Amino acid sequence: MTDVLVVGAGPVGLTMAAELARHGVRCRVIDRLSEPLPYCRAIGVTPRTLEVWDDMGIARAMIDAGLWIEGMRSVVQGHPPGETRHELSDLPYAELGLPQYETERLLADHLGDYGIRVERGVALSGLTQEEEEVVVRLARDGNEEEARFRYVIGCDGAHSAVRRALGIGFPGEAFPVMFALGDVHIDWDLPRGLALRALRLVENGPPDMFIAIPLPEKGRYRVSMLAPAELDSVNGTDHGIQSETRGPQLRHIQAVADSILPDKPQIGDLRWSSTFRISMRLADRYRQGRVFIAGDAAHIHPPTGGQGMNTGIQDAYNLAWKLALVLKGAASDSFLDSYEAERRPVGAEVVERTRAASISYGREKGTKPDRLADTQILVSYRGGAWTRDDGTDFADPIPAPGDRAPDVQGLRRHNVGFPLRLFDILRGTEHVFIAHLPGPDVGEQITRLVAFAESTRSRWAGLCRVVAIVPADAGDVPEYGFAVYRDGDGAFSAAYGDREAGFLIRPDGYVGWRGTAHPASGLMDYWDSVFLRR
């Protein structure tokens, strides 16, 4: 019996399957479509998603296939044009533009490296949970197959068959207007990597709009606008691409651009177009027994800020390592409750924030928005039942349990001739315990750490490794079964504090525990809440 069935082969399902495989879990992946959709739906890739792809080992391929989104030019009728540039140079990655079909292609290739291929043209037609397994019915070409899995994960979009089979509520509302998309070439002077937002405000209604997001190919853009009246239809679904209705023609797109943009750029070479609708919904639950939902199956919202696909990818990244621990017998099934506890509040916040941003679109007032608001770097699980803080006198911005562990540069290891990033050290499928030993008694601190590292290897072999960070001038510091890195330019102390401390970093890059570098019972208590004793 295969351990896990992943339903849906979009970015979320492909990430889920690849991460399960990386953590040593075999799965099947099915998708009801015979071929991937050609539409350029999601484009924006947040800095946090690029960090996820860095850990997965695919960030370079994604960056090579995309282009950096450098900022936005705004043209709002009645106001002078404005231009904003993203300033994210203090982060490991900025915002990337990558068409969803390219994201899916590269993720499918990555999944193939684990020997897993998507089974296309296969639909979930039924699902029944038993005590130790899930029984599903799979339909293909008029034939039906019964299969059994220990867990099932629905990554099958807004109209999720898995969510419906579970009877999970999906409350919310839909925007009353229809929108249109198109992939076109535009001849204008907009610098490469810059998006454009052109608006004509309408009293008591949504603004007339022409939004152009750059694509990697020179001169090509994914444009969006209100659907022309002749294309607006009451038929179709309440969310997503309306494949059963006509998309706009080139003349429709040109007419909108001419009516809003003062320079009336020439638009041509329409490759595809579609109408789409937007809803705002959040699933009542993300888990029911042995079945989970993720991505659009769990939350849908306006595309403002490019949060949807990225939130779903990070759902998958959160769940996969936890499910792997349970399937390996290293954690109890109750640990999987942390998935909903951590990710559903994130989905709720995204739904509410994008709804509010869409309602006020073009009418934003007040202070300048937080430049990190849409990066997803600020997502935190602070205060959750699956984090623990045994530290005292730590003040922000020192990362707390539940926070993303920030990257630092300039770490050095003996006889390695180049500096390393903290993310290089964290990369992998294990927890990492970081002992920060700033001195002056590094030798004594190392001696205490040796015994802890030995107990870690005996109790949690393959689940956790230990590293030490010491000052650049610490002298000779031997490695006793754990790696020692020197804080070459003080970047680690700047980010994590200049005192002796310990941080347990989870496989998804979040701090699970914080305390002293010489672990006391608090860390053991935390680990026993995650891992089963061996």
CATH code of 62's domain: 3.50.50.60
Residue 364 located in a structural domain: no
Are 35 and 126 found together in one domain? Answer: yes
The pLDDT of residue 304: 77
Tokens 């059994």 appear where? 148
Question: What is the domain range of residue 348?
Answer: 4-66+93-171+281-359
Residues 60 and 156 placed together within one structural domain of the fold = yes
**Please, are residues 237 and 281 in contact by the beta-carbon 8 Å criterion?**
no
Q: How far, CA to CA in Å, does 251 sit from each of 23, 247, 373?
A: 50, 12, 36
380 located within any domain: no
Q: Are residues 396 and 506 in the same domain?
A: yes
Instruction: Read off the tokens for 261.
Output: 């943009």
Helix (H, G, I), strand (E, B) or coil at 321: helix
Is residue 457 domain-resident?
Answer: yes
Distance CA(151)–CA(144), nearest Å, equals 20
Do 223 and 326 sit in the same domain of this protein?
A: no
- Answer yes or no: do 461 and 403 share one domain: yes
Give the pLDDT confidence score for residue 63 in this predicted structure: 98
437 part of a folded domain: yes
Is residue 18 domain-shared with residue 121, that is, in the same domain? Answer: yes
Report yes or no on whether pTM surpasses 0.85: yes
Q: Domain check: are 239 and 334 in the same one?
A: no
pLDDT at position 37? 85
Going through 188-286 in order, the beta strands assigned E by DSSP cover: 194-200, 208-214, 220-226, 240-241, 266-277, 279-282
Q: Are residues 159 and 236 in the same domain?
A: no
The last residue of one of the domains, among 311, 342, 359, is 359
CA-based diameter of the chain, in Å? Answer: 77
Domain boundary among 316, 342, 359: 359
The amino acid sitting at 520 is A
Are residue 524 and residue 451 in the same domain, yes or no? yes
Given this model, what pLDDT does residue 131 score? Answer: 92
Q: What angle do CA 282, 157, 148 make, to 5 degrees?
A: 105
The CATH number of whichever domain residue 228 belongs to comes to 3.30.70.2450
Mean pLDDT of successive 10-residue stretches along the chain, which has 534 residues: 92 98 97 89 94 98 98 86 90 97 97 98 97 96 95 96 97 86 95 95 85 96 89 60 74 94 94 88 97 97 86 98 96 96 97 81 64 94 94 90 98 96 97 92 86 82 92 88 93 95 97 87 83 68
Look at residue 119 in the predicted model and tell me its pLDDT. 98
363: CB partners within 8 A, 6+ apart: 201
Please state, in angstroms and rounded to a whole number, the distance separating the CA atoms of residues 113 and 324: 19
Long-range Cβ contacts of 372-375 (<8 Å, 24+ apart): 373/305, 374/46, 374/95, 374/305, 374/306, 374/307, 375/46, 375/47, 375/48, 375/88, 375/91, 375/95
Which residues are CB-contacts of 161 (< 8 A; sequence separation ≥ 6)? Answer: 7, 32, 123, 124, 125, 154
Same domain, 414 and 491: yes
Strand 151-154 versus strand 291-293 pairing type: parallel
Token representation of residue 295: 């991505």
Instruction: Take residue 248 and report the two structure tokens written for it.
Output: 């706009």
Boundary (domain end) residue, out of 253, 277, 301:
277
Give the CATH number of the domain where residue 410 resides. 3.40.30.20
Residue 242 falls within a domain, yes or no?
yes
Look at the chain and report how many structural domains it folds into: 3
Query: What pLDDT shows up at residue 324?
Result: 97
Residue 412 lies in a domain: yes
Asked if residue 372 is part of any domain, the answer here is no
Whether 12 and 115 map to the same domain: the answer is yes
CA-closest candidate to residue 85, choices 97, 101, 94, 72: 72
Residue 341 and residue 273 share a domain? no
d(CA 279, CA 301): 6
Question: Quick check: is 482 in a domain?
Answer: yes
